[in-house]
Amino acid sequence: MIEGKELPKDWKLVKLGDIATYINGKAFKPTEWSKKGIPIIRIQNLNRDKSIYNYCNFPVDKKYYVNNGDLLFAWSGTPDTSFGAHIWKGEKAVLNQHIFRIVVDENKITKFYYLYALNHKVKEFVSKAHGTAGLAHITKKKFEESEISLPPLPEQNLIVAKLEELLSELEKGKEQLHTALDQLRVYRQSVLKYAFEGKLTNKNVRDGELPKGWKVCPISNIAEINPKLPNKEDLSPNLEVQFLPMKLVEEIINRINLNEIRLLSEVQKGSYTPFINGDVIFAKVTPCMENGKIAIVENLKNGIGYGSSEFHVIRPIKEVINKYIFYFVVQDRFRNEAANAMTGAVGLRRVPKQFIENHTISIPSIQEQKLIIEEIEDRLSVADKLEETITASLQQSETLRQSILKKAFEGKLV
């Protein structure tokens, strides 16, 4: 039985442990990684065409080797991205831990039928996993005890052929939608680039020049970086303030979630960053900075907030509007330069305060800043509406994909 329904004739439910052998990868230590040798397949290498590899330059047990066309299953990771089944399409490699190399019993199941069947069960695997939905881990025992519906081999081949026909058309549509999203991203960055070159509000501005009346200065001339909380000594320890951990700051879109309130006495005990209404907060640590966790903080409880120690705070002091600063620092160009200026160990690199202080910004009059912000937001609002439509279409395509797979494994597709 599947989901309360009878299986077709000659179909049966089988445990995963009865139809294949599962070989977990080697637990490589970072000290064993090399810059040359055979690629090591880590979870992040499964779903990214241009991912960065580490290499193995010493012999390992032959069971850990993977060849082009092998079926792999990442049993730890993010659901619907890395977590799940993959056909390896790279060169000969060795397998890292948290990934199974699957050797199917070809007398019972085909590799590609199993690929689709496993990926159809990802949500079920996650429900059986420990960890969180954002980073799930399923044990080998629970994995092998899970069941799939299994038709005879000839019907498996028919199902795979039909799935490939239907899903390939669906994937073409999704690729076009993703291309449109990429084009919108380029458009947004072009709007911001033109804004700070003066081209949104001035005609006939020559490349490399700024409009008359604009000036260029370091950000530290127009804003304080990581300022102290004003009048801190006059505040009551029992004052309620906004608490803003990194997770409550959304990426790129200038939005914060005002879900948490704490007492001033509580937050002052920790190494938190203080800010007030109107400040721009800028995530300084990787990968939050690259992902664009940047926002203007408004509507804070009693006008005061404390957040992650991994924020820089930019507080306008003269001649500049906070939204003007936000749109400047949220640019890909600025964040790419910030990434190149990061210091610290790999995996915990940070943008130094001095980078923001010393980075130059082009400044027009307050009146023109207001016009530029209006022009930016008019254009970006159109892009946002288009993105909402595209995102809804992608969600619909995923719903259709799941419906097709559901029919396939209930015996209703062919």
- Cis (ω within 30 of 0) for the bond into 59? no
pLDDT at 84: 87
Highest mean pLDDT (candidates 81-95, 134-148, 390-404): 390-404
Task: Please report the domains of the chain, with CATH numbers, ordered by start residue.
Answer: 12-150 (3.90.220.20), 152-207+365-414 (1.10.287), 215-363 (3.90.220.20)
What average pLDDT does range 324-338 have in this prediction? 97
Kindly indicate the confidence band of residue 202, based on its pLDDT and cuts at 50, 70 and 90: very high
Kindly indicate the confidence band of residue 4, based on its pLDDT and cuts at 50, 70 and 90: very low
Residues in the chain: 414
pLDDT at 1: 46
% of the chain surpassing 70 pLDDT: 95
Average pLDDT of every residue of the chain: 92
What average pLDDT does range 10-31 have in this prediction? 94
The sheet carrying 71-74 orders its strands as 20-24, 99-104, 71-74, 84-87
Per mean pLDDT, which range of 225-234, 261-270, 313-322, 345-354 is the poorest?
345-354
Can you give the pTM of this predicted structure?
Answer: 0.75
- pLDDT at residue 233 is higher than 70: yes
In whole angstroms, what is the distance from residue 288 CA to residue 311 CA? 10
Token match 């595209």: residue?
Answer: 390
What average pLDDT does range 232-245 have in this prediction? 95
**Tens digit of each residue's pLDDT (9 = 90 or more) over 138-158:** 889 999 999 999 999 999 999
What average pLDDT does range 324-339 have in this prediction? 97
% of the chain surpassing 90 pLDDT: 82
What average pLDDT does range 285-310 have in this prediction? 95
Output the CA torsion sign for 206, 208, 212, 214. Answer: positive
In whole angstroms, what is the distance from residue 33 CA to residue 352 CA? 29
Decide: 286 and 297 in contact? Cβ < 8 Å. no
pLDDT at 78: 67
**Tens digit of each residue's pLDDT (9 = 90 or more) over 109-119:** 999 999 999 99
**Tens digit of each residue's pLDDT (9 = 90 or more) over 169-188:** 999 999 999 999 999 999 99
Decide: 150 and 13 in contact? Cβ < 8 Å. yes
